[in-house]
Amino acid sequence: MAALERRCPEVSDHKCIRKPPCGDECELDGVNWCPGMPKHGRPPRWIREARAAREADQLASDAGPADDSGSRRRLLATMPLHSISSTYGEAGLRERFAAEIAEIPEPDRHCLEDALQLASRLHREDWRQNEPYINHPLRVAIRIIAHYGIHDPDIIAAALLHDTVEDHAAELAPNGRPDPQAALTELADRFGLRAAGLVADVSNPKYNPYLDGDDRKEHYRQHVAASLDTSPWARVIKASDFTDNGVGLIHTTGPRIRYLARRYTGLVPVLREMISRSDTPLSEPARQRILAQLDQAA
């Protein structure tokens, strides 16, 4: 384990760019990379690669080599999703996802593999809360399968892709412009109108610089309520997304945690009402599981 340092190797003076510095120590091997560092806390490539290699080695040590898929999948199937993330990283989540979709017949399984490949490419340089961004859509999709009991490939594909238009419209759109509609058309061409429509329903509204903090949160709440009102399946994806973001607050540090907590708390009544509706396509155990989690977040 690398020694803890109060410095950053990406800036010339090796000092944290946070104003004022948080005073927290940052592990330069990337285990606890401070979000006050440059590029929203994304470590340099060499740190990310070293971390991924260490996580893969840990998975092999705990659950056997890669060719022993049965043993590895039995271990991962017993673990909470954020525990997989913190212990085995992206490699562990990918293996858990592969196990969850193994019984889905072709060509639907191949379509889901393509969706994951596209999401991975678009989010390849994204970083959030001390982990690769792709871990988030992986957990959202796995939760829908394993915890909600849903194996509909359109829903799973939309879960994997749910942040792609919002964050990478220009890379998706054929004209290379940040055009959400063109990006959605591209998703529809590749994964079907239903999956693309669900991505549209769970995407956040365009940033409005004229709204202050409270107005922006209220605008976001109203947008979510309107989007989910007529899209029952989008409620399922949003519930998993919200759950993942809420659990992720445990792993968030610094002043951003207060902003995120206020933002997510305002959604609890909206999601509770939506999940409680009779047309929301969830089994009763899954519905009660989500409602209990929302009650804890309130």
Catalytic residues: 166-167
Identity of the amino acid at 27: E
**68 Cβ partners below 8 Å, 6+ apart?**
none
Return the CA Rg of the chain.
Answer: 19
Q: Residue 72: name the closest of 53, 51, 95, 55 by CA.
A: 95
The answer to whether residues 26 and 5 touch, using CB atoms and an 8 Å cutoff, is yes
Cα distance between residue 84 and residue 77, in whole Å: 10
How far apart CA 216 and CA 207 sit, in angstroms, is 9
> How far is it, in rounded angstroms, from Cα 91 to Cα 49?
12
Alpha helices in the chain (DSSP H): 45-63, 69-77, 81-100, 108-122, 135-146, 153-160, 164-172, 180-191, 193-202, 213-229, 232-248, 256-265, 268-276, 284-297
Q: Any idea what DSSP says for residue 177? A: S
Would you call 180 helix, strand, or coil by DSSP?
A: helix
Find how far residue 239's CA is from the centre of its chain.
12
